[in-house]
Copies of this chain bind each other. A is one copy, B any other.
Amino acid sequence: MNYLGIGVSPGNVPVYHGNNLKVIDRRVRVTELVLRCIIFGLAILGAILIGTDKQAKVIFSIEKIAKFTDMKALVFLVIANGLAAAYSLVQVLRCILSMIRGTVLFNKPLAWAIFSGDQLMAYLTLTAVAAAAQSAVFAKLGQTELQWMKICNMYGKFCNQVGEGIASSLIVSLSMIVLSAISAFSLFRLYGNSKGKGNAM
């Protein structure tokens, strides 16, 4: 099965429509690999930053410990980051494998699987970041109308580390958004005006 010459070893790349598309293909593949590596690294960083965050405070001789499990949104974010890291690791291996073997790993079912996975991950990580960011805003600013007091003036170090974790996760989710556009490109151009050529299943 052939897919616009992607993954075909350099010695026998068929000429489809000039060098222009081949250059685009190469750039798309490199961008994909770089983004997946960034996501893998930052998702782990985000999960560690939030998951290991802890701060003890003595209030009226009672020790209180702030930890990420106090806020469900942070637990959700750690899980989302973990899933994004595991998913990206698999995808990085797939990218490298297809580069090393120089063979074509691309077909419609695989393209659909990658597209669906990327979409799911993009929406999942964005949802987790939005929920965690909303919680962080409450923690930082409080909500006086509802008598929810700000807690970051008490647990400053804890809040800062959560903030770093959320920032890291935000980059993960933005990268996933770019990736999901790339995988949409890779999938849907298989449905181009090809007159049945190269549209193999």
**Please, how many angstroms separate the alpha-carbon atoms of A145 and B68 in the complex?**
11
* Residue ID in chain B nearest A135 by CB atoms: B134
A149 touches B (CB below 8 Å): yes
Q: Which residues of B contact A131 (CB under 8 A)?
A: 130-131, 133-134
A60 touches B (CB below 8 Å): no
Report the Cα distance A123→B119, complex, angstroms: 11
A70 at the interface (CB under 8 A from B): yes
Q: Is the CB of A194 within 8 A of B191?
A: no
How many subunits of this chain does the assembly comprise? 2
Measured CB to CB, the nearest residue on chain B to A73 is: B134
Is A52 on the interface with B (CB-CB < 8 A)? Answer: no
- Bound CA span A174–B127, Å: 12
Residue of B whose beta carbon sits closest to that of A199: B193
- Of A151, A192, A199, chain B has the most CB atoms within 10 Å of the CB of A192
Query: Taking the complex as formed, is A56 at the interface, i.e. its CB lies under 8 A from any CB of chain B?
Result: no
A201 beta carbon closer than 8 Å to chain B: no
Within 8 A of B (CB), among A143-172: 143, 145-149, 151
- CB proximity of A74 to chain B, nearest CB, Å: 11
A126 within 8 A of B: yes
Q: Is B191 in contact with A190, judged by CB distance below 8 angstroms? A: no
Given A72-B137, A131-B133, A189-B193, 18 extra CB contacts under 8 A: A16-B193, A17-B193, A17-B196, A70-B145, A70-B146, A71-B146, A123-B126, A127-B127, A128-B130, A130-B130, A134-B135, A135-B138, A146-B151, A185-B188, A188-B192, A189-B189, A190-B192, A192-B193
- Closest A-B pairs by Cβ, 7 of them: A192-B192, A188-B188, A130-B130, A184-B184, A131-B134, A70-B145, A148-B148
